[in-house]
Amino acid sequence: MTALSVNVNKIAVLRNSRGSAEPDVCRFARACLAAGANGITLHPRPDQRHIRAADVAPIRGVLAGDAEFNIEGNAFAPARGTYPGLLALVETTRPHQVTLVPDADAQLTSDHGFDLAADAPRLRPLIARLKEFAGRVSLFVDADGGDVARAAELGAQRIEIYTGPYAQAHAGGDFARELDHCRRCAERAAAAGLGVNAGHDLSQANLHDLKVAIPFLAEVSIGHALIGEALYDGIAPTVRAYLRLLEA
């Protein structure tokens, strides 16, 4: 079965907009897990525009049993202010998975994967350090990004396919090309011994077609669409709807 990890960053955005403790990201994470979600994803950034460094340990504390804790982040971003850096957060909280993403402060959201050739000299030692404290390391990659097998050579155990272009094409109704990019990327990764995750702009509208194309998909990380849908339908029914799509 493909695991569902719920990204709770958007709940932190709502909380931060009022400068208070509500809505409570820990309570929301508990609700997702109680509804059957397999894990929780956080993406703390140095500018702390949503999830803050101080949130990471408390949210880690709500996970129990088989629930997975996944931290996303840019390991190249230095510590500043109250942000201690990704490596320090990982060392402190020992997540099951670290997903490395090449995002910068100027980006509204993650919008591209690593250049695995150009970034290799910096990625290789970082991955080795992170694996000392995390269960596995996953690299965010473009579906049409070339030699994805290089991720295994760098020491990563998984990739996460950036599905933004696929989701955009799916919304327009002509998505066969982008879906094929995702499928071929997943097959190349699997052939190299890598696990395959996917994330970005996945929703109830487009998840089924992706899962059919990549039946061996290990995990999807979904936040923005799931939380938006939950505003209408409630968090527990929305999480269960995603799980039904992944089980079908």
Q: Which residues contact 227 (CB under 8 A, 6 or more apart)?
A: 10, 11
Q: Which amino acid is at 19?
A: G
pLDDT tens per residue, range 113-162: 899 999 999 999 999 999 999 999 999 999 998 789 999 999 999 999 99
Distance, in Å, from the CA atom of 68 to the CA atom of 180, rounded to the nearest integer, reads 29
Q: What is the pLDDT of residues 188-229, one digit of tens each?
A: 999 999 999 999 999 999 999 999 999 999 999 999 999 999
Catalytic residues, by residue number, are 43, 72, 200
Tens digits of residue pLDDT in 50-61 = 999 999 999 999
110 has a pLDDT exceeding 90:
no
- Which of 126, 138, 155 is CA-nearest to residue 100? 138
Whole-angstrom distance, CA of residue 112 vs CA of residue 122: 17
What architecture does CATH give domain 3-247? Alpha-Beta Barrel (3.20)
Indicate the average pLDDT of the chain: 94
